[in-house]
Structure 1
């Protein structure tokens, strides 16, 4: 737990709070299904988890939704608890630094980065077990927090550590097993590749400053400009049709053009442009 001098528990930030609620709620559904309808829970993991076989058995069909949905599922209580604790302590640090909207995009991108690394590297080693868990996003948050605040102190197994040292431990815990697996020494029971993908993304997002890009604002601006262009095109078409009606009469318009005039008239009567 990060601390600036003594043990402290950070207040929940908005995005982290909702992520914890969603992860906890979905895990509860998984748990109930596992008891009442295990075959349904199995299908859920197969389709929403990162099912590596589906990515290479039927191109050009790719289950791209899995790059996000795999981060919503977990394999057990300790799995979801560990990821939620990491997101609580380190996600709140990052969200407090960059703001909620940027952090939401960061978490989504960290999940995708971990998923991409998993799809590519798990195929190399021939692993077939679906990947589930928010570990990619959690490790991304850990590395981002350590890159922002490397000298912040945290308590790790009762030992105070600088945050950068903890980040090195986290990366090493996955890096060395991943190298062994790539060298053909065993098959992965834990998806270390997803963790490394998330860690690399979290580090680069801060070091290269693209964590500060307001992707939500950019999307909103792009949509606004698209709407404005569409409105301008409609106004131009309306002027041209009205000019033609003045010259040639309403009978010169096609059914589509008459429908367009009717829609524009209704829009203007309601006060729209």
Structure 2
């Protein structure tokens, strides 16, 4: 009876099933290999093609090289720098891509990266003006934005750190990283780490959750239930809203429906929602309807 429903069909499409996270990692790795063969030693880096045109600096932006706000996010200073950022991209990016879609993932990553880059440029202008360039490279600003979004949507997810096997909830890890970036932004000078980029990326990630995903006042109580995505939708938002309203209004009369009517009118819209957004997007009333359906089917068996 349920086999013909769209949510029971496999969503896998081999010709379009390319992970945005994997694509981004491959690009970063490819750029790093290009750096190895073409980039000069660090002592000549500032005046090289890489340093002048592709690394992010306040001098480059002042000259109109605005593409640096994008290109720096693919460049890394060392293999360990690349390895850590790619690990973080894979760890936090997969769930965000699954929840928000490829476009949503790229929006979070690049908007956070650009925001972190802009804050870095502003701080660099304030410290050095246009006299000495302060270079910034790496995916870290975008990664901090991804961590911010992940911490808001799935705050209680446990994460085991390495090399010391310490398990910590993602929301606690995010607050620690945000505090370190904030303190580094205030206290640290010339450390070789762009705390401004990290801090700006994290704040941009939080703002993305606020405006693009939740669309409501943000609460740092951070419940374990992720918010409903407004980015990846099977139906237009207006249709989804009308379906959910109908389900909510008619839940009280579900006992008077036949089994087929109950599944078609009550259960199908909820399962469609789970297929599109995940089970965590369900409201309490929708969960009760599913529990009622489970009881009915169990009684029939």
For Structure 1 versus Structure 2, the TM-score category normalised by the shorter chain is 0.5 to 0.7
Paired with 2:75 and 2:181, the residues of 1 have a C-alpha distance of 20
Q: Counterpart in 1 of 2:187?
A: 180
Q: Is the CA contact 1:48–1:70 (under 8 Å) kept in the aligned structure 2?
A: yes
Match of 1:131, SS state, is coil
Match of 2:70, SS state, is helix
Match of 2:48, SS state, is helix
Q: Is the CA contact 1:13–1:96 (under 8 Å) kept in the aligned structure 2?
A: no
Q: Is the CA contact 1:117–1:197 (under 8 Å) kept in the aligned structure 2?
A: yes
Of Structure 1 and Structure 2, the greater helix share is in 1
Name segments (4+ residues, structure 1) moved above 4 Å.
38-41, 210-215
Within 5 Å, give how 1:204-223 maps onto structure 2: 204-210=207-213, 214=231
Where in structure 2 are there 5+ consecutive unaligned residues? 1-16, 215-228, 233-301
Name the CA shift for 1:55/1:101 in 2 (closer, same or farther; >3 Å): closer
**Matching residue within 54, 61, 70 for 1:48:** 54
Residue 90 (str. 1) matches residue 92 (str. 2): yes
Paired with 1:207 and 1:98, the residues of 2 have a C-alpha distance of 14
Name the CA shift for 1:125/1:13 in 2 (closer, same or farther; >3 Å): farther
Paired with 1:13 and 1:148, the residues of 2 have a C-alpha distance of 23
- TM-score scaled by structure 2? 0.60
**Matching residue within 129, 153, 166 for 1:159:** 166
Higher-RCO chain (CA-CA 8 Å, sequence separation at least 6): 1
**Matching residue within 186, 196, 204 for 2:199:** 196
Q: Is the CA contact 1:49–1:132 (under 8 Å) kept in the aligned structure 2?
A: yes
Name the CA shift for 1:130/1:96 in 2 (closer, same or farther; >3 Å): same
Shift in Å, 1:207: 2.5
Paired with 1:214 and 1:207, the residues of 2 have a C-alpha distance of 13
Within 5 Å, give how 1:217-232 maps onto structure 2: none
Shift in Å, 1:55: 3.0
Shift in Å, 1:119: 0.9
Q: Is the CA contact 2:55–2:72 (under 8 Å) kept in the aligned structure 1?
A: yes
Deviation string for 1:77-136 (max 9, x for gaps)? 011111111101001121111111221222121111111111111211226231111111
Two-structure CA RMSD over aligned residues (Å): 2.6
Q: Counterpart in 2 of 1:30?
A: 35
Name the CA shift for 1:108/1:213 in 2 (closer, same or farther; >3 Å): farther
Shift in Å, 1:39: 6.2
Shift in Å, 1:48: 0.7
Paired with 1:68 and 1:85, the residues of 2 have a C-alpha distance of 20
Q: Counterpart in 2 of 1:125?
A: 127
Where in structure 1 are there 5+ consecutive unaligned residues? 1-11, 216-273
Paired with 1:19 and 1:39, the residues of 2 have a C-alpha distance of 28
Paired with 1:43 and 1:201, the residues of 2 have a C-alpha distance of 30
187-196 vs 131-140, which moves further: 187-196
Structure showing greater radius of gyration is 1
- TM-score scaled by structure 1? 0.65
Deviation string for 1:61-89 (max 9, x for gaps)? x2111110111111110111111111010
Q: Is the CA contact 1:102–1:213 (under 8 Å) kept in the aligned structure 2?
A: no
Deviation string for 1:145-187 (max 9, x for gaps)? 1111111111123111111001112112211111114xxxx33
